[in-house]
């Protein structure tokens, strides 16, 4: 209950909770008895006098005793639960239970159960780990839990999220580089170049030149005008547009596009730039789990025969 920053909310929640349970008790007590209505002959009537659909009569009888007893037991259970467990604002309960403690206990037990297994793989070469069927299965489960939300369950990514099942890598596809990426994360930033290039016609010409580098359809005249303007991009992407893994600058001369290779998309990228972030998992997962996960990711773009030779 760390969300309660002052005592007001503690009492607010506690009072409403207690009053709600007491209200249920009062309602139950009021329905446990019934008033006897005397008829014209002085004898108790068995109905309330309410009739629907001509012959559907409401009887003047109390609720079943077993139902009343069960309801009282439920109310008693509610008070007992609130005394033992959190539920009344910031009151922690007599047992001191909380979800954080249970989570830590589960982590401790999991570490005791699986720690030796991860420790064994941590001493092995990443390619050897990738070739191990058990490690591969563990890595797959880690990937589906922590990576599939962005890269997809098949690891083929989507717009803005890299495909991990091909051999196109922004920072390099070596196992050690993949591990470093998972451990520390990556921040990819393509600065907006609209102001540097000038007019929309210049941006359009550069876009045609970039599309021409990868063999896509482009206007030859605009390609010629765009080539000298591409000099503003050489510092990151190189003279031939093949990128720079040290900077994470993508290769513009292949047919792999992170955001799409249409003329409009390329112009938008040049004009506004792009920013993408890969979160770091080193502190959360620990190096041993990242080691297994990195081996699995590496295996996605390498044939099993290659893995077998890497042992």
Beta bridge mates, 238: none
Beta bridge mates, 57: 51
DSSP reduced 3-state for 218: coil
Q: Residue 216 is part of a domain; what is its CATH number?
A: 1.10.760.10
- Range list of H helices, the chain: 7-30, 65-84, 99-122, 126-131, 133-146, 148-151, 175-184, 194-197, 200-213, 220-229, 234-237, 263-272, 282-285, 287-300, 304-309
Q: Does 142 share its domain with 164? A: yes
Q: Is residue 77 part of a domain?
A: yes
Classify residue 180 as exposed, middle or buried by CB count within 10 Å of its CB (0-12, 13-18, 19+): middle
Of residues 12, 100, 161, the one with CA closest to residue 153: 161
Per the structure, how many domains does the chain have? 3
pTM: 0.71
Structural domain including 273 reads 189-278
User: What does the alpha-carbon distance between residue 268 and residue 228 come to, in Å, rounded to a whole number?
Assistant: 20
Q: Does 194 share its domain with 271? A: yes
Q: Does 19 share its domain with 142? A: no
pLDDT tens series, the chain, 311 aa:
455 567 888 899 999 999 999 999 998 888 777 666 666 666 767 777 778 888 788 777 777 889 889 999 999 999 999 999 998 888 889 998 888 889 899 989 988 988 999 999 999 999 999 999 999 999 999 999 999 999 999 999 999 999 999 989 999 999 999 999 999 999 999 999 998 888 999 999 999 999 999 999 999 999 999 999 999 999 999 999 999 999 999 999 998 999 999 999 999 999 999 999 999 999 999 999 999 999 999 999 986 544 544 44
Q: Does 296 share its domain with 180? A: yes
């Amino acid at each position: 209950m760390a969300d309660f920053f002052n005592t007001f909310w503690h009492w607010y929640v506690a009072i409403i909770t207690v009053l709600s349970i007491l209200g249920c008790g009062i309602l139950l007590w009021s329905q446990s008895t019934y008033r006897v209505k005397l008829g014209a002959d002085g004898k108790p009537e068995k109905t309330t006098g309410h009739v629907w659909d001509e012959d559907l009569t409401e009887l003047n009888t109390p609720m079943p005793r077993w139902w009343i007893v069960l309801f009282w037991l439920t109310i008693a259970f509610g008070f007992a639960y609130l005394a033992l467990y959190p539920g009344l604002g910031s009151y922690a309960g007599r047992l001191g239970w909380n979800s954080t403690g249970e989570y830590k206990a589960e982590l401790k037990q999991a570490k005791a159960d699986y720690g030796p297994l991860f420790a064994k793989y941590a001493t092995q070469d990443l390619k050897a780990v990738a070739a191990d069927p058990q490690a591969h299965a563990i890595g797959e489960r880690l990937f589906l839990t922590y990576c599939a939300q962005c890269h997809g369950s098949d690891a083929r990514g989507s717009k803005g999220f890299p495909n991990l099942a091909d051999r196109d890598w922004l920072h390099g596809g070596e196992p050690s580089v993949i591990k470093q990426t998972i451990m520390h994360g990556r921040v990819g930033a393509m600065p907006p170049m609209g102001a540097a290039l000038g007019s929309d016609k210049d941006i359009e010409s550069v876009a045609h030149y970039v599309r021409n580098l990868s063999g896509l359809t482009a206007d030859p005249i605009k390609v010629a005008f765009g080539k000298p303007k591409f000099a503003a991009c050489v510092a990151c992407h190189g003279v031939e547009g093949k990128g720079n893994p040290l900077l994470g600058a993508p290769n513009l001369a292949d047919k792999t596009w992170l955001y799409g290779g249409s003329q409009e998309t390329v112009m938008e990228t040049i004009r506004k730039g792009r920013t993408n972030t890969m979160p770091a998992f080193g502190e959360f997962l620990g190096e041993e789990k990242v080691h297994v996960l990195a081996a699995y990711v590496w295996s996605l773009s390498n044939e099993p025969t290659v893995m077998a030779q890497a042992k």
